[in-house]
Amino acid sequence: VRLGKEDNEVVFQVEDNGMGLTPEQIRVLFNRYQRGGRQAERLIQGTGLGLAIVKEIVEAHGGAVRAMSPGPGQGSTFTVRVPVQAPEEGQQDNGHRSQAA
């Protein structure tokens, strides 16, 4: 697990040495109800919603999430990037714009 700042982004990265992913799996990994292929479906329980939810939250904050893997059996790296910026004028700390009266 790594956390850092690059340019104007907070970067959070998780790397494992697990099952790894094929390019086809990476392409659909952040879709709802995707569970990583037949082997993962047998070994790991879940709904296949977790990474889709992560992607939606990160993108709602102007960021991006990405998965990389050298291939099956070689682990994976997940990277989340979220911009660091001061709230814009008229924006409250909670991220919602205040409305003019």
H or E element in which residue 78 lies: strand 76-83
- Assess whether pLDDT exceeds 70 at residue 91: no
pLDDT of residue 31: 92
Region 65-94 average pLDDT: 83
pLDDT of residue 85: 82
pLDDT of residue 34: 79
Measured distance CA(60)–CA(16) in Å, rounded: 26
Measured distance CA(67)–CA(70) in Å, rounded: 11
pLDDT of residue 86: 52
Q: CA-CA distances (angstroms) from residue 27 to 5, 30, 38, 59?
A: 26, 8, 16, 17
Region 67-71 average pLDDT: 95
| Domain segments of the chain as ranges | 2-83
- Assess whether pLDDT exceeds 80 at residue 101: no
pTM of the shown model:
0.73
Percent of the chain past pLDDT 90, that is, above it, reads: 63
Domain 2-83: which CATH number of 3.30.565.10, 1.10.10.10, 3.40.50.1100, 3.40.50.300: 3.30.565.10
Region 53-71 average pLDDT: 96
pLDDT of residue 15: 97
